[in-house]
Amino acid sequence: MSDILTTRDGDILVVTLNRPAKKNALTGDMYNGMSAALDQAKDDHSIGTIVFEGSGGSFTAGNDLADFLQSASDFTQSPALNFIRRLAVCETPIVAAVDGVAVGIGTTMLFHCDLVYAAPQAKFRMPFVDLGLVPEAGSSLLVPQRLGTVRATELLMLGEGFDAQAALGFGIINAIVPTEDLRGVAMDKAHRLAVRPRAALRETRRLMRGDLAPLLARMEDEAQAFGAALQSKDAKAALSAFMDRNKRA
């Protein structure tokens, strides 16, 4: 069975991260699958909303580091960055249902979603600096904009984790939903978006998001810094130590 499942529910395209044994840690193939889903929504005008969800009680534990490091020689052309680039310019409204862990890209991608709902046990973290890396997905711009510099420093520079209640207070999620109702609420909101007049909805979304040029420029700046950081001694040591800990766990 594929690690990325795409299914249709009427006007909704549901993208399910389906690697529960690894807490949906993302591989290059999974990024390619998510990119393909975004391309499908771009080309198929019958799709009114995209829903991202995880399986097995997790959203995603972030990158599968062993797989990710295989593309470290040229991060600017990696499946991860190709997905991030598509996500930032996606014109279709996006809803996310977050259960369990949302680490790294699992948190930063939420800043590109229109509606986000989380289970009470959801846990968020952006541990880039801890791994000798830098933020990605435009988060070095979007997190300070959304939360302010003081809070962004805690989350991006100290890499502090936070729970669903904090995410709600930060304005990262729209609501905390009982686990058993999470998917239903996300799908209901997605249906409510999908049935609205498409042109008006997309134009409203475009106006709310404003000029994307600064965001896209920041993402490319991050990509260059991220690629350089991957080659650093600090990152290699931190990533190696992290993978060793996981092997022993």
Please write the tens of the pLDDT for every residue from 72-127: 667 888 999 999 999 999 999 999 999 999 999 999 999 999 999 999 999 999 99
CB burial string 201-234: b at 16+ within 10 A, e below: beeebeeeeeeeeebeebbeebbebbbebbeeee
Give a yes or no: residue 127 inside a domain.
yes
Q: With respect to residue 146, please indicate whether it lies within any of the assigned structural domains.
A: yes
Question: Is 201 within 8 Å of 193 (Cβ atoms)?
Answer: yes
Q: Which domain holds residue 173?
A: 4-179
Residue 152 within any structural domain of the chain:
yes
Q: Residue 164: helix, strand or coil by DSSP?
A: helix
**Assigned domain for 196 exists:** no
Find all residues with CB under 8 Å of 155, minimum gap 6, and list them: 126, 143, 147, 162
Indicate whether 160 belongs to any domain: yes
pLDDT higher than threshold 90 for residue 237? no
Residue 173 lies in a domain: yes
Model pTM? 0.95
246, part of any domain: no
Counted domains in the chain:
1
pLDDT of 70 over the 80 cut: no
CATH number, position 49: 3.90.226.10
pLDDT one-digit tens code per residue, 139-164: 999 999 999 999 999 999 999 999 99
For 174-217, what is each residue's pLDDT tens digit? 999 999 999 999 999 999 999 999 999 999 999 999 999 999 99
Q: Does residue 185 sit within a domain?
A: no
The Cα–Cα gap between 98 and 106 comes to: 9
